[in-house]
Structure 1
Amino acid sequence: MKNILVLCTGNSCRSQIAEGYLKHYTGDKAKIYSAGIETHGVNPRAIKVMAEDHIDISKHTSNNVNEYLDIPFDFVITVCDNANEACPYFPRNVERFHFNFPDPAKAKGTEEEIMEEFRRVREMIKVYAAEFVQKQIV
């Protein structure tokens, strides 16, 4: 079984969404973790937008990357440039992947406009997660 860490700045939106999709796509072939360089709590809009796609992340917690330094990760996926630059060293043969997804928490406008940005980013992450699993998880 593979261990996969998704790392973001605050472990609030992008990494939580990616964790949800990676769990969905890998089933029992991988153990998925998400963490942040900081912890900001799981964004309620991220929970809502994932529920729209029938994935429940309401029980997810916001965790600091330092909590996971002893886990033998096979893959670390950073989902923002800040996390990529601040990612700690993992003392194993870890394959690192990076994609700088837009931060939906920074969206401005009406509630519907903000939710549209969450949906747009969710779809980007969904495609990325599906392709990652297809290529990396046998």
Structure 2
Amino acid sequence: MYSKLKSYIQNVKGQAAEIVESRKVQLTNIADYIREKDEAKLTFICTHNSRRSHFCQIWSAVMADYLGLDNVKTYSGGTEATAFNRRAVEAIQRAGLKVKNPGGENPRYAVHFDDQDEPLICYSKLFDDSSNPQERFAAVMTCTDADENCPFVPGAEKRFSIPYIDPKESDGTPQEAETYDRRCKQIASEMYYLMCHV
């Protein structure tokens, strides 16, 4: 794992202690699900699969790897497809991940956290895209809109809701990078807490 990324994780460990109790309960419920599975598949879902669901997919994979959890597989999708937002991509790069962008309207970013492992391929897609599991997975709703507009996720054996405020609200403002970094760090700390309880 890259040294800059390891330093970032060391930093978010302290922030995990600040998670409110009600949130810890939600995260622990997901950890309980993972613990019961030989292979736990988590599909993180938000409206556009452009920001929060990708943050969750990436950080849950990073933290599972960091803690040596080999049975966790992470995915993401949306109720609509757009593109993995460049501001979110820039936030994970600032955190220490390496990202290769092949270009295009909806690029398939290769997200690396270690030169030895295969990268995560991250792009915007529907939650039921063929690249995502079709059965025996947990649907983890990361925004209120997706949670309300998608009451049934076909193939999901469990459903969890851990909504995050959309950093999109800061787009085009002087606070843009700071807002994305804050949301990125919040999700990283919560995925660390979650994986610590598996």
> Does the TM-score normalized on the shorter chain lie above 0.5?
yes
List 4+ stretches of structure 1 deviating above 6 A: none
Residue identity opposite 2:134 in structure 1: D
Q: Relative to structure 1, is the Cα distance of residues 82 and 101 closer, same or farther in structure 2, using a 3 angstrom cutoff?
A: same
C-alpha root-mean-square deviation of aligned residues, in Å? 1.8
| Structure 1 counterpart SS, 2:145 | helix
Following superposition of structure 1 onto structure 2, how do residues 49-128 of structure 1 map, counting pairs within 5 Å?
49-56=91-98, 58-59=109-110, 60-67=122-129, 68=132, 70-73=134-137, 75-87=138-150, 88-91=152-155, 93-94=157-158, 96-108=159-171, 109-110=173-174, 113-128=175-190
- Deviates further, 79-88 or 63-72: 63-72
Identity over the aligned pairs, expressed in percent? 21
Deviation at 1:92, TM superposition (A): 5.1
Q: 1:56 to 1:4 in 2, by over 3 A?
A: farther
Please say if 1:6 is aligned against 2:70. no
CA apart distance, 1:134: 2.0
CA contact (8 A) 2:135 2:155 kept: no
Q: Deviations over 1:33-77 (max 9, x none)?
A: 00001112001111111011112453211110122462320x221
Q: Structure 1: state its 5+ residue gaps.
A: none
Alpha-carbon distance in 1 for matches of 2:190, 2:196: 10
Indicate how the Cα distance of structure 1 residues 3 and 131 shifts in structure 2: closer, same or farther if over 3 A, else same: same
Q: Residue 62 of structure 2 aligns to a residue in which SS?
A: helix
Match of 1:132 in 2: 194
Instruction: Flag structure 2 segments of 5+ consecutive residues without an equivalent.
Output: 1-38, 100-108, 111-121
1:21 maps to which of 36, 59, 67: 59
What is the number of equivalent residue pairs in this alignment?
132
**TM-score calculated relative to the size of structure 2:** 0.61
Relative to structure 1, the CA distance from residue 56 to residue 20 in structure 2 (aligned partners, 3 Å threshold; closer, same or farther) is farther
TM-score (norm 1): 0.85
